[in-house]
Amino acid sequence: MKRLLIEVGVEEIPARFLESNKEKFKKDFIEYLDNNRIDYKEAIFYATPRRLVFIAERVNEKQKQLEVEIQGPPKNIAFDNKGNPTKALESFLKKNSLTLEDLSEKETNKGIYIVAKKILSQDDIKDVVSKTFSSFIKERLIFPKTMRWTTKKISFVRPIRWILALFGEELIHINFEDIVVSDKYSYSVRFLGNKKILIDRAENFEKILEQNNVIVDHNRRFTKIKDSIEKIADKFNSYYSPSDLIWENVFLTEYANVDYNKIDDKFLELPDQVLTNSIAINQKYFTLFSKDDNKLLGYYIFVYDLNEKYVNNVKKGTEKVIKARLNDALFFYNEDLKVPLISLKEKLKGVLFEKTLGSMYEKVERTKELYQKNLYLLDSYLTEDEKENIIRVFDLYKNDLVTNMVSEKEFTDLQGYMGKIYALKQGEKKNVAYAIEEHYFPRYSGDILPTTKEGLIVGFFDKIDTIVGFFIINKLPSGSKDPYSLRRHSLGIIRYIIEKELDISLNKIFEISIQHYMEKGFKLIHKKKELTLEEMKDKIREFFAIRLDSYLQEKGYSYDLIDVIKDKFFDEPILSMKIIDLLKDFKSKKEFEKLIYSYKRLKNILEKSKLDLNSLSFDLNLLKEEKEKKLYEVYKTIERDIANKINNKDIKGTIESLLLFSQPLEDYFNNVMVMVNDEKLKINRLATLKLIKDLFEYLGKLENIVYEKT
């Protein structure tokens, strides 16, 4: 048994491509080994920026033995009337190197077929890999972006520069498209001269490369970086950020040495995120924060590929790059502080939001007006001070887009944050300043929500304006593409409502926002057809309903309970959440299950009657059977009680009252025929059921609750 090793050497691959594919390529390699009947003990995949490494441990020299059944022609086609082989059978025998003695018959659902057992040849592993691995590279090592580097019609993530292929100490011949032919050599890191290195046998591969400053195993590089960073962080009683940068550094380096350097004191007056943006996001270095007060410390940690003896040269290089970036940032910052943030609003007229929807200034004004039109819906939610603050936020919340810092490409992702910093520095109220940043929250899946009501409300209406606007101009998400983040914005609105208990009617908001656009001259056109306001509102509701489904299912609610309250949610979201929470508890109770079963029968009977239920009239004198009289007594007993509980939004009490119908409804359906020939009696019984149905419908569509059959 020997070790199989193939190393595909390339120009530097982007780190994000390697991190996202490391598990997939290992799985693909395992499938490759299995499909080619290569018998192995363990399959391994390693990656560095310049090499993709595939290893199979303890591989047999020949393929696994495999007996397969080959199906030939149907029996009636294989032999003629005299029992002699036909040309179809002779062709089958010749193609598969078989004789008549190898054949047998097999009955299938299509008739009797001729079959044969055949043991596939056990080829040498070297020959198998030589013939197949080039195709594996082309067909399975797929990256999001590829390039061509020769005149041949072949592309790969980066140019392939070498292939090392060994089976033990033997060379495996792999010819990749007449561009690269395998040999026994690998290469050191580029910074150490890209030295050509002989690998005498596959088992020595990692050891020889490490002697030449390449740690092939990306998991070992991760541990080395993480342990080194934590050691430095402990030295300063600090923690490091961002932690998710470790994997990126793993795939930016091959040897992964770690050290730290000091930030020039003059740059420490910059806001923390400006420093982090320059140091971490752009340079992929780590910043340190004090464990005592969370303040940014004047040091950064970097990962590099050179030998430790060159660390001072590396430090000087990092200093040079960081100083250039931070000098720019410091200049922008100081220049911005000279100009009042409030004075920049007019400049938003020169910033395009969207060609049809207008400038950012128009969006800000449109959103502010939308808020004012809906203010009456928020009277109980906001104090007078908060309302005043929100108006101030609307005059500030996008202004940092035209500051030197944010308009410069390098710092565009600091929008909102810089607005907050400038507002605080210029004496704005804390809640106003924080709302400028927080109106963007959540910025990604799982992100935090605004901490201030001002940020919540401005963010809410800003997102509503964006979604409704893009629906009106028919620029909607398609497949995985969502260039205007409408899905994220709608999920953010749902999170605002549920997690921050923002009790506001989305139906009303959609309606007012659509009308607001119509007042500004926008037409409701979809696929060359003009829609009514209700039709446009339905399209937006449907879009939100999909996000609501996903959100509630992620929170552990079953699909049937979601269907109960989904329609109700858009008018009474907070009430709907109270209902679904209680239904989740009650669903497991036997008495409730019995009630739902009876309620479904009630709904089915009413629907099948195909009558106008609102026109049904009830007559107490037409109650004939004991069980229908009992059911009506229960109705009268709890009708007023439920009405009081509904008015007080006592959901638990409402459900408990409805449970009193459980046995009477079951008895009613077991003893009373509703659809009788007597028309007056039938109408009266339907009217009775309609009275009861109306009590249930306050909770939503309870008929959607599903119980598994036992």
Q: What is the reported pLDDT for 710?
A: 58
CA angle 386, 392, 397 (to 5 degrees): 110
What are the structure tokens assigned to 183, written together? 């040999």
What are the structure tokens assigned to 368, written together? 């502010």
- Tokens 């150490």 map to which residue? 192
Cβ neighbours around 486 below 10 Å, total:
22
What are the structure tokens assigned to 265, written together? 């004191």
Specify whether the CB–CB gap between 447 and 431 falls below 8 A: no
Q: Which parts of the chain sit beneath pLDDT 70?
A: 710
Radius of gyration of the chain (CA): 36
Q: What is the reported pLDDT for 244?
A: 85
**Dihedral through CA 440, CA 445, CA 451, CA 452, nearest 10?**
30
How far is it, in rounded angstroms, from Cα 277 to Cα 291? Answer: 21
State the pTM of this model: 0.82
Q: What is the reported pLDDT for 410?
A: 75
Under DSSP, the state recorded for 114 is: E
Cβ neighbours around 199 below 10 Å, total:
21
Residue 110: what are its φ and ψ, rounded to 5°?
-105, 5
How far is it, in rounded angstroms, from Cα 600 to Cα 707? Answer: 12
User: Which of 293, 246, 245, 248 shows the shortest CA–CA distance to 272?
Assistant: 293
Strand partners, 51: 9, 48
